């Protein structure tokens, strides 16, 4: 049997699949279009500042223990649990809500705005915990061979959850809580999925369970990129090669099998099996030219938000920021309903700020801070011109300065802005969508692009737009599912 394996893409999906397969005796080569490994889980340094490019925290850290254990390695990552989980400020209100896993402390935060918070939250989280535990092994950690197999598997999910499939997260929160602040804060998990609570099914309240009751949020000591560095160290032991600046643009096939992939310089790369870590939907459309994934069809799919990200090196210490901070407005329903399909950015956007120098002083020179700002914006289908990026960034920076009482503009010694156009170009993210295909019911489980190709028996997929979905722990599970499939089939 041919044990040569090519993986296209060195995101977390590609790297983790590579290690799992190398451990099983495969000769793995990774072909990566970017100049550095990690995909969206990337990093850059400039002027003494180090920035994580995208991911800044994670949940379900036990999936990393499991991953390294599966590969026969003790988890080398030192994780730090975040407490508080994050802080939230609403425009026009000086208060910074401290969001913690301690429900009593949380009730104290919401005193005066939400009566009986503890009782309501406990009931809500109990239900959310049932969603989590009743679907984790039956739906999330499963391969589906076809729709029939999918329906057979989800028929084992208790029927009592059925009504929640059609209900949106916002409706469930609206039924549970009275105060707009509490509803909005609990709905931030939809944002982690790259969507809004008005589009996200209520079953995803299970993410509230993971944040408040289950595993919480964690960062990795040394920065998130340590994950990539540690996996690469392990890959080196198995002589896995990563070839950078190599973009795959087409495939050769024979008798229902891919025989080689071709890069943009015309070089042919042969192997017995291929795993694609590029987006599982757009690769099928743009490289394999599948009709079901034509540009028209891809455009009609529901994609997650696009990121506008700002990286700032700041002189001086900032007092009013924590590791994770959300700066929100006070017109949430209206804002959230319009933002993803609007062709312009409202003048007072909602945004997230991460200051990793708060927990890791090595990320910034002495007496300095590094700020990462993420503002969810429409993807390139709706807003294709980003020549206004400086204006949008200035607006956010002046709003942030006012809200934290620190003149950021005056103290900026480094600034970089990445638009959806940049994100799309760097990692081939479809129309700049940051998290890949959304998690609406018709795009999850058996409806999500499969990790097994429809036509070629030796072509597989790993990553955010195949099963089970987006986010670092899900992508690790994705690599487990695809390698199980390959090892079972070959």
Stretch that binds ligand FAD, among 10-18, 95-103, 111-119, 166-174 (CB under 6 A): 10-18
Residues 230-249 that bind ligand FAD (CB under 6 A): 247-248
Residues numbered 247-276 forming contacts with ligand FAD, rule: CB under 6 A: 247-248
* Long-range residue pairs from 389-393, CB within 8 A, at least 24 positions apart, any chain: 389/308, 389/417, 389/419, 390/417, 392/308, 392/345, 392/349, 393/308, 393/310, 393/417
For the segment 47-106, give every residue that binds ligand FAD (CB under 6 A): 54-58
Nearer to ligand FAD, 132 or 164 (CB): 132
Q: Which two tokens stand for residue 117?
A: 């918070």
Token couple for 143: 């391969």
Tell me if 379 contacts ligand FAD by CB under 6 A: no
Q: Taken in order 73, 78, 83, 89, is the CA torsion positive or negative?
A: negative
Q: Candidates 64-72, 176-184, 398-406, 468-476 — which segment interacts with ligand FAD by CB under 6 A?
A: 468-476
DSSP H or E stretch at residue 446: none
Rounded least distance, CB 435 to ligand FAD, Å: 5
> Binding to ligand FAD (CB under 6 A): which residues in 298-337?
307, 309
CA atoms within a 13 Å half-sphere pointing along the CA-CB vector of 274: 26
Pick from 5, 18, 28, 31 the residue near ligand FAD by CB under 6 A.
Answer: 31
Q: Examine residue 471 and tell whether it contacts ligand FAD (CB under 6 A).
A: yes
Are the beta carbons of 482 and 461 closer than 8 angstroms? yes
The piece of 105-113, 137-145, 169-177, 467-475 that touches ligand FAD (CB under 6 A) is: 467-475
380 or 464: CB nearest ligand FAD: 464
Q: Which residue has the tokens 């062709």?
A: 343
Q: Which of 470, 481, 483, 486 binds ligand FAD (CB under 6 A)?
A: 470
Sequence-distant (≥ 6) Cβ neighbours of residue 385 within 8 angstroms: none
Among positions 71, 77, 472, 477, the unique one binding ligand FAD when judged by CB under 6 A: 472
Q: How far is the CB of 379 from ligand FAD (least distance, A)?
A: 12
* Cis bond upstream, residue 84 (ω within 30): yes
- Pairing of the two strands 351-354 and 268-270: unpaired
Pick one of 6, 20, 29, 32: the residue that binds ligand FAD (CB under 6 A): 32
3-state helix, strand, coil split of the chain in percent (to 5) is: 40, 20, 40
Beta bridge partners of 358: none
Which positions lie near ligand FAD, rule CB under 6 A? 8-14, 31-34, 39-41, 54-58, 247-248, 277-278, 307, 309, 374, 427-428, 434-435, 463-464, 470-472, 475
């Amino acid at each position: 049997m041919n044990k040569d394996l090519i993986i296209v893409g060195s995101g977390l999906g590609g790297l983790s699949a590579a290690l799992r397969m190398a451990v099983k005796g495969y000769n793995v080569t990774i072909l990566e279009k970017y100049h550095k490994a990690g995909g969206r889980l990337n990093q850059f340094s400039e002027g003494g500042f180090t920035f994580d490019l995208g991911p800044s925290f994670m949940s379900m850290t036990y999936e990393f223990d499991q991953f390294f254990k599966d590969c026969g390695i003790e988890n080398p990552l030192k994780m730090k649990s975040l407490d508080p989980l994050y802080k939230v400020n609403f425009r026009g209100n000086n208060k910074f809500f401290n969001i913690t896993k301690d429900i009593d402390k949380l009730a104290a935060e919401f005193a005066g705005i939400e009566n009986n918070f503890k009782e309501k939250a406990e009931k809500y989280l109990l239900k959310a915990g049932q969603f989590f535990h009743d679907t984790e092994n039956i739906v999330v950690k499963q391969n589906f061979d076809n729709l029939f197999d999918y329906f057979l598997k989800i028929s084992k999910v208790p029927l009592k959850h059925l009504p929640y499939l059609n209900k949106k997260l916002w409706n469930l929160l609206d039924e549970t809580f009275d105060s707009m602040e509490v509803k909005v804060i609990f709905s931030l998990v939809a944002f982690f999925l790259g969507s809004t609570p008005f589009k996200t099914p209520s079953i995803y309240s299970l993410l509230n369970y993971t944040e408040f009751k289950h595993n919480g949020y964690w960062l990795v000591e040394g920065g998130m990129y340590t994950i990539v560095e540690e996996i690469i160290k392990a890959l080196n032991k198995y002589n896995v090669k990563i070839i950078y600046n190599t973009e795959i643009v087409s495939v050769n096939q024979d008798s229902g099998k891919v025989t080689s992939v071709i890069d943009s310089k015309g070089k042919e790369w042969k192997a017995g099996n291929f795993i694609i870590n590029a987006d599982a939907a757009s690769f099928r459309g743009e490289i394999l030219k599948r009709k079901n994934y034509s540009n028209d069809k891809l455009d009609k799919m529901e994609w997650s938000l696009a990121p506008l990200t700002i990286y700032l090196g700041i002189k001086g210490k900032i007092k009013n920021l924590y590791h994770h901070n959300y700066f929100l407005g006070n017109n949430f329903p209206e804002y959230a309903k319009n933002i993803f399909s609007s062709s312009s950015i409202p003048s007072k956007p909602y945004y997230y700020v991460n200051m990793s120098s708060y927990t890791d002083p090595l990320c910034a020179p002495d007496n300095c801070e590094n700020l990462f700002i993420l503002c969810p914006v429409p993807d390139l289908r709706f807003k294709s011109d980003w020549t206004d990026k400086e204006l949008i960034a200035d607006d956010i920076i002046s709003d942030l300065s006012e809200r934290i009482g620190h003149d950021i503009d005056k103290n900026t010694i480094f600034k970089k802005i990445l638009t959806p156009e940049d994100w799309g170009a760097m990692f081939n993210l479809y129309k700049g969508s940051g998290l890949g295909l959304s998690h609406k019911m018709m795009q999850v489980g058996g409806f999500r692009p499969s990790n097994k190709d429809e036509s070629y028996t030796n072509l597989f997929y790993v990553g955010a737009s195949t099963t089970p979905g987006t986010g670092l722990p899900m992508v690790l599970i994705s690599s487990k599912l695809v390698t199980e499939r390959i090892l079972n089939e070959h």
